[in-house]
Amino acid sequence: MKKNGFLKHVDFFLLDVLCLLFAYYLAGYIRGIGYLLNNDIYRLLGIFELLTLISVVYFYSPYKSILRKKTLNILLKTLAFGIMQFVVLAFILFATKYAEIISRLFLGYQYFIFIILSFSFKVFWIKVIKKKARNSINSGSKSLLIVTTKDYVKDLESDIKNNNFEYFRINGICLLDCEDKADISDFNVVCGKDNLLKYCCNNWIDSIFFDMDYEQIPKEILNSLAISGITVHLRLMKVEAFEGQDQMVEKVLNYPVLTSTIKDRTNFENFAKRAMDIAGGIVGCLFMVLITIFIGPIIFIKSPGPIFYKQKRIGKNGKQFNMYKFRSMVMNADALKKDLMSQNQVKDGFMFKIKNDPRIIPGIGNFIRKTSLDEFPQFINVLKGDMSLVGTRPPTVDEWNKYELKHRIRMAIKPGITGMWQVSGRNKITDFNEVIKLDSYYINNWSLSLDISILFKTVISLLKRDDNEAM
């Protein structure tokens, strides 16, 4: 999702707020006014100054492209920013007739100090960001696969190293006109044209950047990626209409790109969903502690071993994480699963589900699975940010390895404790394509009200104690 200009550079805004406050107190000390907050007039002036700063930031956009500006340009921009604040504040003071009782020398000192501090901290912070951007190429939190050709790759390498302000971890480079392991790039060449889609399906990739002429990109590749739910960035050289999902123009690695992605969320919607996850995660963890007191000893007595079960699952865009549950099966359950695959009710093995699973711990396993008590430790995953309250079911690693590209859309969002499939009669669904349809509907029609509706239906289902199997 593309951030608006203010939120994109909120760090620079906060730095300017701190610089203004420091200049406010330092100017008061130099002018000999004393403790400013004890003075009603100067306390009100401080409020006016903060409101003026916010207004000028909103309308003037002083941080636009700041990471790519030269030092002299930053100085001139900061100087104009400070003068503009001073002019706006002077107009406010004149209109409210406070200009007669406010020390003009105080204001002069303050904004002179502010401009010096603001410029100095901006230059320092930009150096910090650029250092972090270079380091994130190998360790960033968002993975990016670059698809290009030999004609573009050399210039691209320099731009990646100097302009990775999105903090992408470069997953590798795909050269559409070269062999898989061609020794042509400082970055790892991970695949060629023939196995690009297979690589995208089997690896953790948040987004793909096509740095090449649009006419060179095979249309079947673009169409397959659109179905998969992977975010696609097309460098704006010459781009025709592309049938994808939501589209927007933004910058990636300092290149203007057309980004095609699944249903876009606003900043508020992302904030609200995460806030709901944190609130629900805290409440869920409190219940988990109480449940542990009662069923923990029973699990240990019935099947000696750990009370909690940890399993590798696949999260958003293929990232692996450890999912936690109360252990409802015997200690060697994973090893026994191979012998039971012939009884799997879901064809093609994309999920595993059988009736009367012999691996379940007698006396307690069926109870905690039917009541979904075994799922409560997943609230830890929600608090950690690996999962959400509502999402898609996180597949196991062996299930993920069987996925085709069209199945990958399920993991275009964070997996959830509950979801569309779980409240739509999951015990009756044995066709994995039906699961894909339900998950795709949720992803493409997501809203906070839909999440609340699914949570409500989940609670109703638990209260009715439907014969639900664990995830």
For the stretch 169-202, pLDDT in tens is 888 888 887 765 555 556 788 888 888 888 888 8
Query: What per-residue confidence (pLDDT) applies to 3?
Result: 44
pLDDT at 114: 95
Q: 470 lies in a domain?
A: no
Report if residue 471 sits inside a domain. no
pLDDT greater than 90 at residue 229: no
Higher pLDDT, 51 or 423: 51
Do both 157 and 115 map to the same domain? Answer: no
Residue 405 pLDDT level (bands cut at 50, 70, 90): confident
d(CA 327, CA 364): 10
Mean pLDDT for the chain? 83
Quote the pLDDT of residue 252: 77
Q: Are both 109 and 144 inside the same structural domain?
A: no
Give yes or no for residue 302 having a pLDDT over 70. yes
CA distance 328 to 392: 22
pLDDT in tens, 334-343: 777 777 776 7
Is 11 among the domain residues? Answer: yes
* pLDDT band, very low/low/confident/very high, at 12 (cuts 50, 70, 90): very high
| Claim to verify: residue 63 and residue 108 sit in the same structural domain | yes
- Predicted local confidence at residue 325, as pLDDT: 93
Residue 417 in any domain: the answer is yes
Residue owning tokens 């995208």: 200
Please give the Cα distance from 165 to 157 (Å, whole number). Answer: 14
Helix (H) or strand (E) holding 143: strand 142-148
Residue 381 lies in a domain: yes
User: What's the whole-number mean pLDDT along residues 138-163?
Assistant: 81
Residue 415 has pLDDT above 50, yes or no: yes
Residue 222 belongs to domain spanning? 140-261
Residue 252, domain member (yes or no): yes
Average the pLDDT over each of 28-42, 44-58, 220-234 and give the range with the smallest value.
Answer: 28-42
What is the CATH classification number for the domain harbouring 209?
3.40.50
- Whether 100 shows a pLDDT value over 90: the answer reads no
Sign, CA torsion 38/39/44/49? negative
Say whether both 283 and 416 belong to one domain.
Answer: yes
Residue scoring higher pLDDT (212 or 426): 212
Look at 454 and 31; give whichever has higher pLDDT.
454
Same-domain pairing of 191 and 72:
no
Q: Is residue 100 part of a domain?
A: yes
Number of domains in the chain: 3
Same domain, 193 and 111: no
Lowest mean pLDDT among 170-179, 292-301, 414-423: 170-179
pLDDT at 18: 96
351 and 450 together in one domain:
yes
| Phi/psi of residue 187, nearest 5 degrees | -90, 160
- 469 within a domain of the structure (yes/no): no
Check residue 470 and give its pLDDT: 41
Of 220, 235, 261, at which residue does a domain stop?
261
DSSP letter (8 states) at residue 324: E
Could you tell me if 189 and 204 lie in one domain?
yes
Chosen domain end from 261, 290, 324: 261
- Counting residues of the chain whose pLDDT is more than 90, the rounded percentage is 25
pTM of full prediction above 0.85: no
In this model, does residue 240 exceed pLDDT 60?
A: no
Q: What is the mean pLDDT of residues 218-232?
A: 84
- pLDDT score of 163: 80
pLDDT at 34: 65
Most confident residue range from 306-315, 348-357, 417-426? 306-315
One domain, residues 198 and 63: no
Strand, helix or coil for residue 27:
helix
130 and 275 share one domain: no
167: left (phi over 0), alpha (psi -120 to 50) or beta: left
Q: Which sign, positive or negative, has the C-alpha torsion 390, 395, 401, 405?
A: negative
Q: Would you call 387 helix, strand, or coil by DSSP?
A: coil
CA distances from 122 to 30, 69, 108 (A): 24, 11, 21
Is it the case that residue 245 has pLDDT exceeding 70? no
Domain-terminating residue out of 228, 261, 294:
261
Q: Residue 148 — pLDDT band, cuts 50, 70, 90? A: confident
DSSP designation for 425: T
Mean pLDDT of all residues in 333-358 = 72
pLDDT category at 469 given cuts 50, 70, 90 is very low
Q: Are both 307 and 241 inside the same structural domain?
A: no
The pLDDT score that the predictor gives to residue 349 is 60
Q: Do residues 312 and 354 both lie within one domain?
A: yes
355 vs 233: which has the higher pLDDT: 233
Mean pLDDT is lowest, of 135-144, 173-182, 222-231, 370-379, for 173-182
